[in-house]
Amino acid sequence: MTITKSTLNAVRSAVALVKDPEYPDLNIQQLGILEDVVIDASSIRVDLVPTILGCPALDTIEQDVLAAARALGYEVTVRFCHSPAWTPDRISDDAKKILAHEYTIAITPRTGNTECPLCGHTSLEKRSDVGPTACRSVHWCPNCRNPIEVVRSRKAQDQ
């Protein structure tokens, strides 16, 4: 079987829609977990970038990716890449809005302070390095008095 460019595109479109197990409103493309779909030794390989090493959802994501490709009639393999490293910059703008408005989860901007997704307050108080998941830290907004989870990045850890 020859794998054409359009096959790769079709597989890419299908696996892009796989939902993240912990954010059922977001897919792996929006979260920047889907890196590429490529030809590897005459078969199709899906490259994924885990948000954090040891993420417990990887198995589930892999199963769902395999199932999505199978639904199109393709058997693919999944590879978790260590490079490039995942950063919150990989999250799409629309997904950032959903995280902020639906989940009250903030992303630290490249410059400036993290804003409270509810009230825009910019002096959040950090309460713990990690929260319910290893990829988010826990802060408190003293203005609107809500706990705010912030997606961790190297930069945020250094603060």
Separation of alpha carbons 15 and 126, rounded Å: 36
3-state SS string for 26-56: EECCCCCCEEEEEEECCEEEEEECCCCCCCC
> By C-beta, is 44 or 117 nearer to another protein?
117
Phi first, then psi, for residue 18 (nearest 5°) are: -60, 130
Least Å from the CB of residue 140 to another protein: 6
| Closer of 80 and 103 to another protein (Cβ) | 103
Q: Which is nearer to another protein, 67 or 130 (CB)?
A: 130
Q: How far is the CB of 10 from another protein (least distance, A)?
A: 27
Q: State the minimum distance, in angstroms, from the CB of residue 36 to another protein.
A: 25
User: Is residue 39 within 8 Å of residue 14, measured between CB atoms?
Assistant: no
Specify the residue, 57 or 66, whose C-beta has the smaller distance to another protein. 57
CA distance 53 to 138: 19
The minimum distance between CB 134 and another protein, in angstroms, equals 7
The number of beta carbons lying within 10 Å of the beta carbon of residue 69 is 23
Residues that bind another protein (CB under 8 A): 21-24, 54, 56-57, 59-60, 102-105, 118, 127-128, 130-134, 138, 140, 144-147, 149
